């Protein structure tokens, strides 16, 4: 039997219409789909062939119901070795803070043909739908995308605090520990008036945007549990939100994402 192939694709930030035409074609040619949790379920429901299995290989932080990466990679290899066209769907862009490298290395090692399809990362989606242009002229000269882990060290806080007057910082996976992050930045001299935003479920019909400042956020957001997934934006550009807040979500309080199994 001849070997199949793997298409690794970014499925966009949330809104199921924010996918590429290339992904649309891939959805129609796949024999099996392995999908991350942060891929909007409508993407497969509406565009994949009805007979095609969609396997949820979700991961959520350190959630015990997460599927281990080795199992995901093995399943992907097994299906391709069995001659199938495997579509591996990841939230946002396929390469931003994902395990794409593990999967690529395994594919190369096994000599399995593959293709990469980029997607719109959460920062771009959140930026557009929250009306916060990430490098708005006069407000920021560059932007950094940063992933937050429980093991984040002091030196990383130093880097995060650095040059916030010119550089917008977007934190992936950082909302749960935001108050302590803000305290660490204040200790490093970041101005109390520096605005900060949290965008929950960006680009979905349940999107919520919270805006505050370094100084006021700890009191304003105390006890608030930001809905997953959430993205943090720190920088002067955040002040543009109140002028360009055009998007009106219609389903506040809901979530389009499937829950992981409880174990
Ligand atoms: N590859 C993805 C990121 C994976 S890391 C991408 O390019 O977007 C997962 C983190 O991305 C989440 O913890 C959250 O911080 C962010 N994220 C993904 N989708 C999001 C959404 N719709 N709204 C807000 N944050 C999101």
- CATH code for position 57: 3.40.1010.10
Pocket test for ligand 1, best of 15, 35, 38 (most atoms within 8 A of CB): 38
Is there a domain that residue 258 lies in? no
**The domain containing residue 47 runs over which residues?**
5-120
Pocket test for ligand 1, best of 40, 128, 200, 229 (most atoms within 8 A of CB): 229
Query: Do 204 and 95 reside in the same domain of the chain?
Result: no
263 or 39: which carries more pLDDT confidence? Answer: 39
Cα 111 to averaged position of ligand 1 atoms, centre (Å): 30
Q: Are 202 and 233 in contact (CB under 8 A)?
A: no
Residue nearest atom 5 of ligand 1, based on CA coordinates: 97
How far apart CA 40 and CA 12 sit, in angstroms, is 9
pLDDT in tens, 76-126: 999 999 999 999 999 999 999 999 999 999 999 999 999 999 999 999 999
Cα 92 to averaged position of ligand 1 atoms, centre (Å): 7
Helices (H), the chain: 21-29, 41-47, 69-81, 100-109, 122-129, 154-161, 178-187, 217-220, 241-244
Active site residue 59: yes
Average pLDDT, the chain: 93
Residue 263: per-residue pLDDT: 45
Query: Do 114 and 142 reside in the same domain of the chain?
Result: no
Query: Do 106 and 133 reside in the same domain of the chain?
Result: no
Residue 209 has pLDDT above 80, yes or no: yes
- Among 70, 93, 120, identify where a domain stops: 120
Is there a domain that residue 56 lies in? yes
Query: Do 92 and 171 reside in the same domain of the chain?
Result: no
Query: Do 138 and 198 reside in the same domain of the chain?
Result: yes
Is there a domain that residue 254 lies in? no
Query: Do 33 and 136 reside in the same domain of the chain?
Result: no
Residue nearest atom 11 of ligand 1, based on CA coordinates: 172
Is there a domain that residue 253 lies in? no
The reported pTM is: 0.94
Query: Do 93 and 176 reside in the same domain of the chain?
Result: no
Query: Do 105 and 141 reside in the same domain of the chain?
Result: no
Query: Do 13 and 115 reside in the same domain of the chain?
Result: yes
How many structural domains does the chain have?
2
């Amino acid at each position: 039997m001849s070997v199949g192939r793997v298409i690794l694709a970014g499925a966009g930030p949330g809104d199921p219409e924010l996918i590429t035409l290339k992904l649309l074609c891939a959805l129609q040619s796949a024999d099996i789909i392995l999908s991350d949790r942060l891929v909007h379920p409508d993407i497969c429901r509406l565009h994949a062939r009805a007979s095609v299995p969609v396997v949820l290989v979700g991961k959520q932080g350190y959630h015990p119901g997460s599927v281990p990466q080795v199992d995901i990679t093995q399943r992907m290899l097994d299906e391709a070795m069995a001659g199938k066209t495997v579509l591996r769907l990841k939230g946002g862009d396929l390469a931003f803070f994902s395990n794409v490298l593990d999967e690529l290395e395994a594919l190369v090692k096994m000599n399995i043909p593959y293709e990469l399809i980029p997607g719109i990362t959460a920062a771009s989606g959140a930026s557009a739908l929250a009306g916060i242009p990430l490098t708005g002229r006069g407000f920021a000269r560059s932007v950094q995308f940063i992933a937050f882990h429980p093991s984040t060290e002091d030196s990383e806080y130093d880097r995060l605090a650095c040059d916030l007057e010119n550089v917008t910082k977007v934190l992936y996976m950082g909302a749960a520990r935001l108050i302590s992050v803000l305290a660490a930045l204040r200790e490093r001299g970041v101005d109390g008036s520096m605005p900060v935003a949290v965008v929950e479920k960006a680009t979905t019909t349940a999107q919520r945007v919270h805006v505050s400042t370094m100084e006021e956020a700890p009191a304003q957001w105390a006890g608030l549990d930001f809905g997953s997934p959430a993205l943090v934006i720190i920088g002067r550009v955040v002040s543009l939100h109140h002028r360009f807040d055009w998007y009106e979500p219609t389903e506040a309080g809901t979530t389009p994402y499937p829950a992981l199994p409880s174990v």
